């Protein structure tokens, strides 16, 4: 398969769930336009109910779209459904595995499901990559939560898809395991696999993803390279640690957006496109504050997220 420009491309993708019982119909996706570059680690962020799972489920074939189009690895999901779906591996949110199978058996079953010929199976290699080779013959019910989750990742890899989607993969996973999972995901990406992940851990998305799309109420409200997204928030903060902690903002600083932190430090928020730090420091000195130390704080994704989903 030639490498396409986009691993996933959605055009005006829509989904309206039909009314059922007392529940009214719900338009979960209102025309999603998204281009996920091949080879990237792409983050899909959005509050609960934004439509992320619906989007992923349409790609994997669990949910039928009601409008628009989508293609996976250059293949339209309507025109070439089987090929399109064999190009993705989805690691679902919920751990769903038969507790009486061993990891080896679970992997073989999955490979059979995808029609991977025995000669092409790389079961042990994949189990090794996720650190489960020594557990290959243990029952799944004997594995820890983190091990089960790694087995889910391994299962999504059996057919060597060029695109792997991880739906909230680290929810409930401890810090150490999260690290090792991300390391593995990073290696997969280096080896050429496009990674798409939904996460509520904004810091993680910021650290891992080359590009991030923010979905809110069924619409894409931003989709940009991570640094560009972060730059959208033009404001920065200058934190001044005075020799003597402050109680109130001195009147001489009434012209700037200043506040006092609990430790007596002075925090000044400013637009970096309008005000230079040098000028601000001068203003502080003119207010007779002697500076012991200072630092600047840049906005993080959390700020961008809160700002953009406020509406």
Ligand X SMILES: Nc1ncnc2c1ncn2[C@@H]1O[C@H](COP(=O)(O)OP(=O)(O)OP(=O)(O)O)[C@@H](O)[C@H]1O
Binding site for ligand X (CB under 6 A): 17, 26, 28, 46, 48-54
Longest Cα separation, the chain: 77
Which of 97, 173, 170 lies closest to 138, judged by CA? 97
Q: 119-127: long-range contacts at Cβ-Cβ below 8 A with a sequence spacing of 24 or more?
A: 121/158, 122/158, 122/160, 123/158, 126/154, 126/157, 126/158, 127/103, 127/154
Question: What's the min distance (Å) between Cβ of 60 and ligand X?
Answer: 13
Minimum CB distance to ligand X, residue 176 (Å): 24
> At its nearest, how many Å lie between ligand X and the CB of residue 306?
16
- Smaller CB separation from ligand X, 168 or 206: 168
Q: Which is nearer to ligand X, 50 or 106 (CB)?
A: 50
d(CA 310, CA 90): 30
Task: Compare residues 54 and 60 and give the one whose CB is closer to ligand X.
Answer: 54
Determine the residue with CB nearest ligand X.
Answer: 53
For 70, phi then psi, to 5°, come to: -150, 145
Tokens linked to 290: 């002697």
Least Å from the CB of residue 68 to ligand X: 15
In 3D space, the residue among 197, 172, 215 whose CA is nearest the CA of residue 90 turns out to be: 197
Q: Which is nearer to ligand X, 171 or 188 (CB)?
A: 171
CA 172/CA 170 separation, integer angstroms? 6
* Least spacing, CB of residue 77 vs ligand X, in Å: 17
User: Please, which residues have CB within 8 angstroms of residue 173's CB and are 6 or more apart in sequence?
Assistant: 145, 146, 149, 181
Complex with ligand X: residue 26 or 231, whichever CB lies closer:
26
- Minimum CB distance to ligand X smaller for 58 or for 233: 58
CB 253, min distance to ligand X, A: 42
Instruction: Output the smallest distance, CB 164 to ligand X, in A.
Output: 18
The helix/strand/coil state of 273 is coil
Q: Which is nearer to ligand X, 123 or 170 (CB)?
A: 170
How many whole angstroms separate alpha carbon 96 and alpha carbon 200? 21
């Amino acid at each position: 398969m030639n490498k396409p420009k986009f691993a996933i491309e959605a055009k005006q993708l829509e989904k309206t769930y039909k009314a059922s019982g007392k529940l009214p119909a719900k338009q979960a996706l209102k025309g999603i336009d998204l281009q996920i570059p091949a080879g990237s680690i792409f983050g899909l962020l959005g509050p609960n109910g934004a439509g992320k799972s619906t989007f992923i489920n349409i790609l994997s074939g669990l949910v039928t779209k009601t409008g628009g189009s989508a293609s996976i690895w250059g293949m339209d999901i309507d025109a070439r459904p089987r090929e399109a779906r064999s190009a993705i591996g989805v690691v679902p949110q919920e751990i769903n595995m038969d507790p009486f199978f061993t990891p080896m058996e679970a992997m073989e079953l999955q490979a059979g499901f995808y029609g991977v010929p025995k000669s092409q199976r790389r079961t042990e290699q994949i189990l090794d990559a996720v650190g489960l080779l020594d557990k290959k013959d243990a029952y799944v019910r004997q594995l820890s939560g983190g091990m089960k989750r790694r087995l889910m990742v391994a299962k999504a890899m059996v057919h060597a898809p060029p695109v792997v989607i991880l739906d909230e993969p680290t929810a409930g996973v401890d810090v150490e395991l999260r690290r090792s999972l991300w390391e593995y995901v990073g290696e997969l990406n280096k080896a050429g696999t496009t990674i798409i992940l939904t996460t509520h851990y904004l810091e993680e998305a910021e650290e891992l993803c080359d590009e991030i799309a923010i979905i809110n109420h069924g619409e894409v409200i931003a989709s940009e390279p991570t640094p560009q997204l972060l730059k959208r928030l033009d404001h920065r903060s200058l934190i001044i640690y005075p020799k003597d902690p402050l109680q109130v903002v001195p009147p001489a600083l009434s012209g700037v957006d200043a506040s006092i932190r609990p430790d007596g430090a002075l925090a000044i928020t400013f637009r970096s496109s309008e005000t230079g730090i040098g000028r601000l420091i001068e203003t502080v000195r003119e207010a007779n504050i002697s500076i012991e130390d200072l630092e600047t704080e840049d906005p993080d994704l959390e700020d961008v997220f809160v700002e953009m989903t406020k509406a």
